[in-house]
Amino acid sequence: MANSNKSSKSSETPVAPAVASPDAKSKAPAIDIGISDEDRKAVAQHLSVFLADAYTLYLKTHNFHWNVTGPMFNALHVMFEGQYTEQWNALDEIAERIRALGYNAPGSYAEFMELSSIKEEPGLEKSPDWREMVRQLVVGNEAVCRSARKALEVADDADDDPTEDMLIQRLQTHEKNAWMLRSLLQ
């Protein structure tokens, strides 16, 4: 996967604050997992953006599960539930990978709003129709794919195989979700 254009692509990613742990006063040994401190920080920052996108998509999917109406209600209610349940379970794995790299995972709505590329669309307080819900979830899944790819480039540069593996699995899931949702609109 190595190529010389990686750093220019990755530099577009918002920078998450990197809070290393353990702190300087800790009695725990320094982290030595075969990835440099600089690379661990870069991977953790990109994973933080990915986590923010994934969490924002999870919340939107759950919202639409609760509020979908119309002739597609049953099918979409069930589909959205399957997607948000899978997404919820994945969030923990992403956050725990950030922690394994020695950094704190973002965990507040303020942090997620700052880091996420998925912005709340106007009018959600009155629940869009099912077609608009599906369209927004296609766009959201594709945004998660883009942030996963940026994080994957940085993880590849760092030879961080566990992060690469996790991100590849997430890409497969979100690409499939986007395809299935898009098919409903064709």
> In the beta sheet, which residues pair with residue 103?
20
**Dist. CA 186–CA 181, nearest whole Å:** 9
**Dist. CA 17–CA 174, nearest whole Å:** 26
pLDDT of amino acid 119: 87
What's the average model confidence in pLDDT over 44-60? 98
How wide is the angle at C-alpha 14 spanned by C-alphas 13 and 15, nearest 5°? 110
* CA proximity to 40, closest of 113, 102, 96, 120: 102
Contact 44, 84 (CB under 8 A): no
**Confidence bin at 77 (pLDDT 50/70/90):** very high
Task: Convert the pLDDT of each residue in 35-51 to its tens digit.
Answer: 999 999 999 999 999 99
**Dist. CA 93–CA 157, nearest whole Å:** 21
Task: Convert the pLDDT of each residue in 141-174 to its tens digit.
Answer: 999 999 999 999 999 999 999 999 999 999 999 9
Peptide bond preceding 71 in cis form (omega within 30 of 0): no
Mean pLDDT for all residues in the chain:
89
Sorted by where each starts, the structural domains of the chain and their CATH numbers stand as: 33-185 (1.20.1260.10)
pLDDT of amino acid 83: 97
Residues 6 or more apart whose CB falls under 8 angstroms from that of 166 comprise 93, 94, 97
Task: Convert the pLDDT of each residue in 101-142 to its tens digit.
Answer: 999 999 999 999 999 999 887 766 678 899 999 999 999 999
Contact 49, 144 (CB under 8 A): no
Residue with tokens 């965990």: 107
Q: What are the DSSP calls for 43-66, one per residue?
A: HHHHHHHHHHHHHHHHHHHHHHHH
Query: Which tokens belong to 160?
Result: 């961080």
pLDDT of amino acid 27: 80
Query: Which tokens belong to 179?
Result: 């395809």
